[in-house]
Structure 1
Amino acid sequence: MAAWFEGRLAGFDLETTGVDVETDRIVTACVVQCGGGTPTQSFTWLADPGIDIPEEAAKVHGITTERARAEGRPAAEVVEQLVAALAESVLAGLPVVAMNASFDLTILDREARRHGVQPLVDIVGDDLLVVDPRVLDKQIDPYRRGGRKLEDLCRHYEVALDGAHSADADAIAACRVAWRIATKDPRIGGAPISALHLWQVSWARKQAESLREYFARTPGKESWADGVRTEWPFIPAQRAGGEAP
């Protein structure tokens, strides 16, 4: 049986209005199917998020409020199509590769609920298997100095990144980094994808707990500790009563 990274992968990436998973919105999105010996297929969206895009976010991904309003599709339409594309990939047995998956998948979940779209997790359930290059990299090389953003990982693993902070470029690059890590580390490359997913749940929790402890003991960053979440690959939505479903 072929290793998971030798088969088809579904890369997923979002560019958003900000970094708050509960309130920020999708601006651009990409789902790319690549690998497995068949041609790459890339699906991209530009949304009108329905709110202003802050200048600092526009500087990152290059999409201004004016452009999103003029060229973007209605947010609800984009979210519905995006969930459908991901669900199709998941139900076809493809792992979803997403850099910092808990951010992108949580944003998508909240957008779906905001716009009355059936959330991805409600469609695919336990069939959702995720590969997060950020979690894998921290696990296999925890003490390496330097940044851990996608562009940092691309430099370290010698992966081309053309057009950083565009959703399509980032989605493909994340798949390439995951492939590099899998070929470098036999435990990761040789694991059944279902086992690798469960390992990442544990690894991500421990990594977040370590970050929380670092913030708590670092002068000036103590208040950041409370904002660190340990759930992966997404943060469950809260019910009205405050309990996770």
Structure 2
Amino acid sequence: MNEQHTSAPPWYLGRLAGFDLETTGVSPERDRIVTACVVQIGGGQPAAAANWLADPGVDIPDGAAAVHGITTERARAEGRPAGEVVEEIVTALTAVVLSGIPVVAMNATYDLTMLDREARRHGVQPLADTVAADLRVVDPFVLDKRVDPYRRGKRTLTDLCRHYQVPLDGAHSADADAVAACRVAWRIASTHGEIGKASLDELHSLQVGWAREQAESLADYFRRTPGKEDRAKTVRGDWPLIPAQRGGAA
């Protein structure tokens, strides 16, 4: 009697969970969450999105508000307490991870580090401590630099959407960006076997190494570029998040 073995479908045809934050600034150590989205799409099921608007407890700089459209006044009037929002985001992502669904996040190190520091700031158990080794992340930023390392120009989500012909409606709103990140990841995986054929476990481990190599390359570029030498010191190769220093977030 012949046994038939059926291989599992590739990860990108299954359920994906897009994750994105809009914040008060660009420092995950100092800045705060303003809006967030966790959206599950794909896998032959309807999309399911959870969105949050927080009152970050600090003023939102005009520059940040110009990007995501949330002013200090609106956040104070309509936003929920930051600690509650952070706890709910961690809870939502924990459910996703423990269901075996990968978290898709553009430049994941920023968003996951930001969430980690906010959790510590508000006395919430961080995601990394909750799910430990179960976390599987897919980062279109890392994947794109792997498959097309020498392409000139910027590599923001907007740029990647344009390059991979992915629609992006409402850029810099957390929900639109989360969905777009999933679509870019799908596009890359469906056209590059190294990524699409890897298991989620393999892909996560590969990205750890790729992100480190990409950071080393960037730091080397800064060291060799007049006027940018000092920027090499700020480049971190940690992925998918930067470990917290002792003492926690301030």
Given the two structures, how large is their TM-score scaled by the length of structure 2? Answer: 0.95
Helix, strand or coil at the partner of 2:31 = coil
Distance 1:15 1:238 in 2: 23
Instruction: Give CA deviations for 1:12-49 in whole Å, capped at 9, x if unaligned.
Output: 00000111111100000000000000000010000000
Helix, strand or coil at the partner of 1:33 = strand
Helix, strand or coil at the partner of 1:160 = coil
Distance 2:24 2:43 in 1: 33
Aligned residues: 241
Distance 1:216 1:65 in 2: 39
**Paired position in structure 1 for 2:108:** 101
Distance 1:238 1:170 in 2: 29
Which one of the candidate residues 153, 163, 166 is aligned to 2:160? 153
Helix, strand or coil at the partner of 1:43 = strand
Q: CA deviation at 1:104?
A: 0.1
Distance 2:44 2:13 in 1: 8
Distance 1:46 1:10 in 2: 19
Query: Is the counterpart of residue 88 in structure 1 residue 95 in structure 2?
Result: yes
Instruction: Give CA deviations for 1:47-102 in whole Å, capped at 9, x if unaligned.
Output: 00011111111111111111111110000000000000000000000000000000
Q: 1:240 to 1:77 in 2, by over 3 A?
A: closer
Distance 1:78 1:62 in 2: 19
Which one of the candidate residues 214, 234, 250 is aligned to 1:207? 214
Query: Is the counterpart of residue 76 in structure 1 residue 83 in structure 2?
Result: yes
Distance 2:218 2:23 in 1: 24
Helix, strand or coil at the partner of 1:10 = strand
Q: CA deviation at 1:220?
A: 1.7
Paired AA for residue 194 in structure 2: R
Query: Is the counterpart of residue 167 in structure 1 residue 174 in structure 2?
Result: yes
Query: Is the counterpart of residue 16 in structure 1 residue 12 in structure 2?
Result: no
Which one of the candidate residues 11, 22, 26 is aligned to 2:33? 26
Distance 2:247 2:100 in 1: 33
Which one of the candidate residues 119, 128, 143 is aligned to 1:121? 128
Helix, strand or coil at the partner of 2:166 = coil
Q: CA deviation at 1:240?
A: 3.8
Helix, strand or coil at the partner of 1:59 = helix
Query: Is the counterpart of residue 218 in structure 1 residue 225 in structure 2?
Result: yes
Distance 2:179 2:36 in 1: 12
Q: CA deviation at 1:213?
A: 1.1
Paired AA for residue 109 in structure 1: D
Larger Cα-atom Rg: 2
Query: Is the counterpart of residue 51 in structure 1 residue 72 in structure 2?
Result: no
Segments of 4+ moved more than 4 angstroms: none
Query: Which ranges of structure 2 fall in alignment gaps of 5 or more residues?
Result: 1-7
Paired AA for residue 31 in structure 1: V
